[in-house]
Amino acid sequence: MLSKPPPNDPVPMTDRPRDVETLPETAPPVLLTSHDVLRGQKSVAITHNGALYRLQTTRQGKLILTK
């Protein structure tokens, strides 16, 4: 059964993947747009667990994350 999302929840329950419904209730994840992350650039570098990744946008408007 779906519960009503909090009023400030950016992603309605109907738009979430089915497996999210089975997770224990925690703080909602932070929702960022690609514009927020890329800040007008075509690519950005991201570090995660000591590894360097590159997030880039394609001419078709898709995102690619490479290590």
**Cβ(54)–Cβ(43) below 8 Å:** yes
Both tokens assigned to 38: 């890329």
CA 35 → CA 3, 18, 44, 52, distances in Å?
30, 26, 11, 20
In a domain, residue 6? The reply is no
In a domain, 2, yes or no: no
Report yes or no on 32 lying in a domain: yes
| Contacts of residue 3, Cβ cutoff 8 Å, sequence gap at least 6 | 13
Beta strands in 1-67 (DSSP E): 43-48, 51-57, 63-66
Is the residue at 19 inside a domain?
A: yes
User: How many domains are there within the chain?
Assistant: 1
- pTM for this entry: 0.57
Evaluate whether residue 28 is within a structural domain: yes
Q: What CATH number is attached to the domain comprising 26? A: 2.10.70.10
User: What is the residue-level pLDDT of the chain in tens, covering all 67 positions?
Assistant: 455 555 565 555 555 555 656 656 788 999 999 999 999 999 999 999 999 999 999 999 999 999 9
